[in-house]
Structure formats: C-alpha cells, structure tokens
Structure 1
C-alpha cells in the first residue's frame, strides 16, 4: 500500500527518517492517477507562453526556503534555484545568445546542471544535452549535429572534450564550469540580477519553440539528436506529476543521467512541480543505494529495470526495508524481477511506463499489473491512439494486405507498436536534427490513405484486458528454423534459471544454415549448472527458441543507461579465437565446449544443426 509521511525540516534536508508506516492507506486509485494526469495537462495549451521555467518561478514564490535539488556537495532551495537560473538567463543574453541559438552542455549530474538548461531555455536558447560517457569521434558527432554557438563544459571533463576537438571541422567556443575552472560560467554570471525576468527583458518564448536536444542511446549506430519543444517538457512533467501526485514532502531519488529525458526532465520536473525536492546522484551504486535512499528520506525512486535487477542480486543490506519509498517508477522492469524486487524491499507501489524521447505515444501501467508496460483505458482511447500491426521479419517493416494497408494484430499476437500523428502539439513528431532519420520513423497509409503514424521500432502484444507487453526491439528478433525468436522472451526464461545473474540473447549467422541461430551470453554465479540450464530450457522454450550457443562471461557490457550491448557479442559469435570466454553448443542433448576442432566443423558447414 502507499504511504505518507510528515514533512522533514527544511533546515535539515538530510535528517534521518522515522520507521516507515506501512499501514497507511493508498493515496490514490489507478483511475485517480489517470484523472490527475489529464487535469494537470488540460490547460497547458491555453497559455502558449507559459513554459516550464515560468511554472518553477511560481513554486519558488510559494516555497522559497524548501530544498529543491539535493546533490552530493550542494543543496539548492527553490528560491536559490530560481536565482541561479535567472543569472544564467541574463548571462546568456549579455553573451549575445539569441532565441533559436543552440548551446551544448557537457556536465556530470549535479544541481547546477538543471539550473543551466532551465536558465538558457528561459530566453529561447536550445540546449543540447551531451552524453558525458562519449569520447573522441562519438562526442564530436553529437556536437556537430547540434551545431552549437558554444559549449558549456565542466572543467573535470576537459580531457573528454579535448579528445573530440580533432574530429571537429571547427573548434567551438567553450565556456568552462566548476570550481577548478578559470573565468567559469558561475563567475561570469555572478553579477547579474537574481530576480525574475521582466516583460521585454527577453524574447517571447512559446510552447512550440525548441527547448532541448536529447540524444538517443546509439545502440544501433551513432546517436541521433531528438528535438524536444517546450510543449513536450511541459507535457512530460505535468503528466507524470498527475500520475505520481507529488507533494512538498516528497523526495525523488534520481541517479539516472541528467542528459536523458527521464533522468533529466521527467524525474526532477514532476516532483519540483509539487514543491518537493530531488536527490541527485552522479551514478547508481548497488552497495550504497539503500543507505543513501534511507539517509536522504527519499519517498520516490526513478528506475531503469536493470537497476532493480542489480539490487535483487545484491547481498542483504540492513537498510533495505527501512526506507520511506512510497512509489518506484520507471521502465524496463522485467517480470521475473518485478515481484522479487517489490517483495524483498517492501515497495508499496510500482508504476511502470513506456515512452521514447522522440515518441508521440506513451503507455502507463498505473494498475501495477506485473510485466505490463501499460494500457490505454477506454476513456482515453481517442486521446492516446496506439496500434499494433503485424510485422514482416523478412523486410523489417509492417506487413501489408492486398490493398497496401497495414494489418492490425490480434490479441496476444506480437507486432510493431505505432502511434498516430496529427497536427495537435502532443501528437506532432518533432523529429531529429537529421531530416533523413526523421523520415524513416514515419509510416503512411497505415489504415487509410494519407494517415501518418510513428514507428516505435518495438514489438508488443496486447492482452484481452488491454494491457501492453513488450516483446522485443525490431532488429533484436531473429528467425531460426522458420520461426521468429524474441530475444527478450528467451532472456526472461534464462533469468529464471538458478545461478544466471544476467543473460544477453542475440542471433548469430551459421554457415550453411538459413536465418540466425540463438546465442546467449551469460554472467553466472553460485549454483549455476550447465546440465540444469539445458533441462530448464527444454521445459521453458520451444526447440527453435532455445539458445544453440552459449558464452559464459564474468560481466556483460552495458551502455550508460544500462542497455545491453549486443553488437560486439554478435560479431564475436561462437569463434573461440575471438574471446577467452568459454563457448558451448547444444549438441546431443547437452552443452558441449567449443574448441578449435569443433568450431571448424561448424564453420565449415559439416555439423548438422
């Protein structure tokens, strides 16, 4: 059940918390969550010049001394956050930045990060949020596609930025930030007024104007810069505020990258709207998580599913049930992790959702149905049109009928999820900086001539109750023995086997065989047994879906947002010369170790599979 707690003193934002009252009644039903989201977003379009920084100005007046952003070494109250973003806004104007200009931001997670982009977007500057993990040509690519007037970079990331400069055709102007920086942004802006900007002091900025460039993860190529308008920022923050019902007593624990939409906009913005505060951490730490969550008095946690899996695999922590969390919200919670996470750590409520930075379609599982990414209730069907269409694995495109129209999938049938586009702001695809990449995402003549839908690139299925379940990413699914194999479903089966800490499933080409054979890279721990795994796969999966090849690795690679890296693993395949990890093949009723001789038989097409 949900719980509520007394406010913590603003003078001591990190004061210890009392034992949680787990007997408190739920704060809101699922219907109330939907209605709250609708109510908070209903009037956004009525005030086209009321952008998110304006909303926060009002919060600063109401709760000036309450903590807003709690970092490792700095705490900003709502009024201090307002003062800082106003100084940055005036600095930008004095620097000659004008509405429509772009500034790239390269900083680690900290309260100042939000102050910078909120201040610059207030005066019409578009801020490109650069991934702090990128280096060299990858970072240079992200700077190039943004075409910024200047780059604001933390002094402790100078080496990363220096490594990108040789790959740029022109060196950008750089403004450094941080205690070790000379002529820093903080120093340069210190003399500017802290009060709200007056009428005529800055150009008028509307909801339709660009606010941010947020990059895709780049798991299938170089990152793409998605355009995010002020309207999207308002919709994201207000919609989630309606769903989670934040109060001034709430604290969001946010250890996700601030350069991504969820960690940097949704998580902090939705709680700041309610007058609450955000605990900002540079990165996730499984060993320190519960002590930090408990010590900071966090009541909300924004997750990515992999973080929850890490926590369920961690050793018991004395603080793991002393927290005050009333809600954990995020995406990517696997069914086999969901119940274990909720039960072990006494989490009152989980709010899973599905969305993409550039997408026009979102799904929310406000009912808490295990494994579902969300549903569209009947009273919102016209507002949030979602469609699953049959997928042609051979072409990688939706299947078409004789009339050239896409074919809606049946209940329980996997297909690609589409979101209908229109001229209404919330259903307008704002696209990427690349027109070519933008065009690839739009599908036309889906159900009738001239209609337009956005491709999500995700395979979903829907049950009879209307709940949507993620199946796989298009491109991750592969064909073997004439059947489509969903890597996510195979991984789910592998994760239920004793000793399997993590599974990464992908398809590999086999000489002389059509399609791709299933292969799984496994990180294993105590209790793992190959014979037991083989027996479990035989009972859990059809023959065509069982991994033909295995790779046992100490750890599996991830992106900075904890997405699995499949490309390098698939390229290595089952060749023992390409890795020191032990490799196996399912042969004669057991997994056999692949050596040079056996590999030669497979690669030469002499082994019947």
Structure 2
C-alpha cells in the first residue's frame, strides 16, 4: 500500500514537472520574444473571451489589449524611450495590469509600487525607481502628495480621475490615444534580458529593495504557472493578492491569461467576502499567501465555503498546521504550494501535495537543478566551510541555507536588485567548487530522504538561545495551537548579561489571555530553550501588503514596559508567566533574575 501511494505521488510530481518544463523550455535571454509577445499571442487566440473581472465590470482579451495599447501610445506621446521607467502606484483595479502590459509594448519599464506605503518608504521606492512619471488613482494621489517633499527629482503625477494643481488627468489624455497595437519596430533589438518591471521586496526588516524583473524572468513566472497549475480556458482564478507582488501579479495572471482563462480580481482580501465572491463568480482556483489561508480558517463558518467549484489553490507560505484544516474544512481537492523569491533563481514546486512541503527534488533530478542546502551558523550568520574552504552540504533532516547556482540560462540567472551592492551581498563564492557562484536565498530549510523540502525560517528570524537554534516560525506554529490565539509573531530580543537572544511572542487574542494555561501549553509543546521568555499582547498585528508579519518595530521596542502600551508578561522560572512591571524589568536589567 505504501509503495502504491509513493508511486501515485511520483506520477503526480512527474506530470506537474512535465507541464511546467514544456512551457518554460523555450525561454532564452537572447530571444526577441518578449513578455508582451506572449500576452499578444493569447489576445489573438482568445480575443472575444473574458479576461479580467473587477467590481462588476469585465474586459474581454480584446478590450484588455485595446486598453493596454492606449497606455503604450500615451507613453510614446510623452517621448518615453525604451528602458525608461514609469512608476505605478495604485491599488488593485481593472486598469492595473493593462498599464504595465501596455508600457512593455514600447519597451518602457514599470515600477510596481506597494500601494500600502506612505511617507519616507514611499519616497524611497519612487526615488530608486528613477521614474519621472507616476500613475495614481484618487485613492493614492493624496498619499503621493504627502510624500512629494521626500522626492529627489520632480515627478509628474498622472491621475486616473479628476486632476488638481500640477496633476495631469490621465483619463482625458488616453482618449486621444490609439487602441491599435504600437508598431513592433519600436522594440526592435530588445531581448528577453531587458528589464520589464521593478518589483520591490516587502521591507519586513527595513526599506524595500527594487528587484529587476527582466522579460525572461517574468516569462518564467507567467509561463511556469500556466503549466504548473494545469489551468485551461475554462478556469476562473480568484485574485485577492496585490498585483504589485509577483505571486498575484505574475504567477496568478500567467496561469489564467496564457491559457485563455480569466481573472476575478478583488481590490483587497476580505475573509468575509472571499467565499461569496468565489461562488458568485464561478471561480475554479484561487491564489494565496499563507497568512490569507490562516485568516480564512480563523473566520466564522460561511454557508458558501463548501458550495464552490474550486479545484486548486496555489501559492506559498502555507503553514503545516493550517494546510490540513484549509483542505478539509473548505473541501479543496488540491493544493499547489511553491517556493521562490522575487529576485532569486531558486524555484520549488510541491506538485504531489505532500502536506507541509514546499517542493521536491528527487535524487534523479539533483543533477538537473541548481538547488542545494548548505550548513549554516545562525550565530555568526555565515555558511560553514570545510577544511578545503568549500561549503558543506546538508544531509537529510539537517537544517541549512538554501542556495541556487548562478549560470547563464533562463532558470539559473540571477538578475538581482537595482542596487548593485545589495545584489553582490546575495552571492556566495566557492560553494561546491572553486570559482562557482551561488545565490543565497536567506532561507533556512531542511530536506528529507525522499527529496521533499521544508521551510524552517528566514535567516535573522532564527536566533540562538541557551546554545540552541530557535526557529521563530516553528515556535509561532506551536503557540498558534493554543486556544484563543488568532496571530502569533515570534522574534528574539537581547537581554542584559545573557548570551544570544531570548524569545519573545507578540500575540493577538480572541478573548481573555489565561497566563497559567498558556504557560502549561508552552511547557508541553516546546523545549525549555524555545519557550518565549516574554509575551506581549496586541490588539492587531502589523503586516506588509502581502500579509507578512512585520518584526522590525517589535524587536526595537523590546520588552521595556516604559515603551510598550498594553499587557506584557515575563516567564518567571518559578511562577510561570507573570505581569512584567517596571520593578520586574529593573530586576532583569540588573541581573538579579537569572534567565
């Protein structure tokens, strides 16, 4: 029986891999076929079929293309040349994808700016984009206005709505622009190695960095998921993730639009409307980020949650404890978990649906992929090298950093960030052979004997305490099993006189916090070194636009009751979790309490 189950998994893995490789094998950096050519071919084939639906309005492929063409001619009219950049600062809306699709037709780069940003972070992203024009809508225009003082150069603001002052009315400007495709000669001599988009890292630990997305890399995203998901022209994919991020804006759109399917786009995710929308629109797939799924299973039951036609959910970051609940409660036949980073050259797919795994590389595939795990010291934050000066590969079950070998083909090239220095910091030399170069993902993983990869934590999130490595992700997963915890964010904080960093957990509770019961749960679920020394209760958790938990501010605030509003607890060696008052804090600071 076990042999048959394994054979079935292997067959599903091979089917998924084969579908994906068929779609990406022809991608080449020196090819003259650009991303916009892929999309144009889809338009020509399915011109009269529905492509995008948003808030009751639907565009066919032909209408979507006509809208994109207007943006292309608008850019030409401004005198924008190939390689120049336009910043796109809007929430999800019907025009979002046609804007950058149209600009790509004339070789103009689009910087996809996180519409959750404001102030200095927003000005920073606009500055490093190098754009002289920015496209906004009535929602983001006031935010841009407030950030203008931080801009290093003048930036013309184009509003999809009423314009004021020195703003320009983009709706009016587009009326005089042709709906016909621009002449292909305008991008003559361009290749797939030219830049198509700038996509920014989420900035969970600092200011965002701009990753350079070439046409080739965007093709890998879109064609890859067109194959991996097995989508067809009959599929409707529900997208509630932001389009400024690769998962929603490239992976999901590629799965639908390169197969003749359609996208049902929502302005932002809502657990309340999620299943109602999916049932009403007849969606067959949805794309997720792990936290989105956790919000769904924590939401009260909905009569539509099992009346849907969903056959596949695909995305990344799905926690092992959430996976079975999501699949069973909502009756989702298949889940396709994947791993990848915006700027990196490492991709993994879990084609056969093994719960908890982010992907698989069987032994017979090792020589054909660029992915390896190497031993890593979390205390010194550096790879571990042997006597020969090379890195040491991890064995089954051993945690290490995931790295991807850099080569010249489409799937292994590392295009990096706009900031060359930041790109160079992500490259490790002399990993498995003298003179080689590998992309450092910054992620700790482990692999089992069958080749399944499991995500452990981000480097920097894993810390050392009592001589042991503590994974914030694993601790948060165990804490979340405690009754009443809606969200758990775990991080390390420095304690006066102690080596390493002590664990601290920020919790959002549904109801009262029972310190005694929580202490019992922690003692039962976690080894002593992994048990949080401090606990902080929050009314809500700050997240990025892609639902990643922010830690930088929490780490900075630490456990000082003078800086923190709200309940704060300390795990006393004898009494368990007690209120962390100023008196307790002073005793900790003086070393009177041993931790």
Smaller-chain TM-score bracket: over 0.9
* Corresponding residue to 2:257 among 272, 276, 297: 272
1:598 aligns with 2:584: yes
What's 1:495 paired with? 480
Query: Which digits, 9 at most, give the CA deviation of each residue in 1:533-570, with x for residues without a partner?
Result: 22222222111111111112222221121111112222
- 1:314, CA displacement in angstroms? 0.7
What's 2:528 paired with? 543
What's 1:215 paired with? 200
Distance 2:320 2:71 in 1: 44
- 1:379, CA displacement in angstroms? 4.9
- Structure 2 residue matching 1:336: 3-state secondary structure: coil
The answer as to whether partners of 2:29 and 2:193 remain within 8 angstroms in 1 is no
* Corresponding residue to 2:143 among 160, 185, 195: 160
* Corresponding residue to 1:80 among 45, 52, 63: 63
1:430 aligns with 2:406: no
The answer as to whether partners of 1:57 and 1:196 remain within 8 angstroms in 2 is no
1:373 aligns with 2:358: yes
Query: Which digits, 9 at most, give the CA deviation of each residue in 1:13-66, with x for residues without a partner?
Result: xxxxxxxxxxxxx9x933211100011112233981222222222222222221
Distance 1:489 1:150 in 2: 44
1:297 aligns with 2:279: no
Distance 2:158 2:215 in 1: 25
Question: What do you get for the CA RMSD once the two structures are aligned?
Answer: 1.8
What's 1:12 paired with? none
Greater Cα shift, 160-169 or 305-314: 160-169
Distance 1:561 1:245 in 2: 25
The ranges of structure 1 where at least 4 consecutive aligned residues each deviate by more than 4 angstroms after the TM superposition are 179-183
- 1:180, CA displacement in angstroms? 6.3
* Corresponding residue to 1:338 among 323, 341, 348: 323
What's 1:125 paired with? 108
- Structure 2 residue matching 1:68: 3-state secondary structure: strand
Distance 1:598 1:189 in 2: 64
Query: Which digits, 9 at most, give the CA deviation of each residue in 1:117-158, with x for residues without a partner?
Result: 001011111111111111111111111111113222223311
What's 2:48 paired with? 65
Greater Cα shift, 538-547 or 471-480: 538-547
What's 1:14 paired with? none
Residues 137 and 46 of structure 1: CA distance in aligned 2, closer, same or farther (over 3 Å): closer
What's 2:36 paired with? 53
* Corresponding residue to 1:319 among 261, 280, 304: 304
Distance 1:403 1:281 in 2: 54
What's 2:239 paired with? 254
* Corresponding residue to 1:101 among 63, 67, 84: 84
- Structure 2 residue matching 1:468: 3-state secondary structure: strand
Query: Which digits, 9 at most, give the CA deviation of each residue in 1:296-352, with x for residues without a partner?
Result: 111111001111101111111111111111100011111111111111110111111
Greater Cα shift, 342-351 or 395-404: 395-404
- 1:425, CA displacement in angstroms? 2.6
The answer as to whether partners of 1:124 and 1:203 remain within 8 angstroms in 2 is no
Distance 1:381 1:184 in 2: 54
- Structure 2 residue matching 1:44: 3-state secondary structure: coil
Distance 1:301 1:256 in 2: 10
What's 1:197 paired with? 182
The answer as to whether partners of 1:312 and 1:341 remain within 8 angstroms in 2 is yes
What's 2:518 paired with? 533
1:521 aligns with 2:510: no
What's 2:380 paired with? 395
Query: Which digits, 9 at most, give the CA deviation of each residue in 1:231-260, with x for residues without a partner?
Result: 011111111111111111111111111111
Query: Which digits, 9 at most, give the CA deviation of each residue in 1:77-103, with x for residues without a partner?
Result: 100011111222122122211111111
- 1:450, CA displacement in angstroms? 0.5
1:144 aligns with 2:127: yes
Aligned runs of 1:451-600 on 2, under 5 Å? Answer: 451-526=436-511, 529-587=514-572, 588-600=574-586
Aligned runs of 1:11-22 on 2, under 5 Å? Answer: none
- 1:580, CA displacement in angstroms? 2.5
The answer as to whether partners of 1:137 and 1:167 remain within 8 angstroms in 2 is yes
The answer as to whether partners of 1:71 and 1:280 remain within 8 angstroms in 2 is yes
What's 2:3 paired with? none
Distance 2:158 2:545 in 1: 25
Residues 347 and 545 of structure 1: CA distance in aligned 2, closer, same or farther (over 3 Å): same
- Structure 2 residue matching 1:303: 3-state secondary structure: strand
- 1:514, CA displacement in angstroms? 1.1
- 1:526, CA displacement in angstroms? 4.5
Query: Which digits, 9 at most, give the CA deviation of each residue in 1:478-515, with x for residues without a partner?
Result: 11111111111111111122222211111111112111
What's 2:398 paired with? 413
- TM normalised by structure 1 equals 0.92
- 1:201, CA displacement in angstroms? 4.8
Distance 1:46 1:594 in 2: 58
Unaligned runs of 5+ in 1: 1-25
Residues 380 and 183 of structure 1: CA distance in aligned 2, closer, same or farther (over 3 Å): same
The answer as to whether partners of 2:29 and 2:216 remain within 8 angstroms in 1 is no
Greater Cα shift, 466-475 or 142-151: 142-151
Query: Which digits, 9 at most, give the CA deviation of each residue in 1:568-604, with x for residues without a partner?
Result: 2222222222223211122215211111211111111
1:328 aligns with 2:308: no
Query: Which digits, 9 at most, give the CA deviation of each residue in 1:197-222, with x for residues without a partner?
Result: 34435544321111000000111211
What's 1:29 paired with? 12
The answer as to whether partners of 1:246 and 1:270 remain within 8 angstroms in 2 is yes
What's 1:11 paired with? none
- 1:112, CA displacement in angstroms? 0.6
What's 1:169 paired with? 152
- Structure 1 residue matching 2:368: 3-state secondary structure: coil
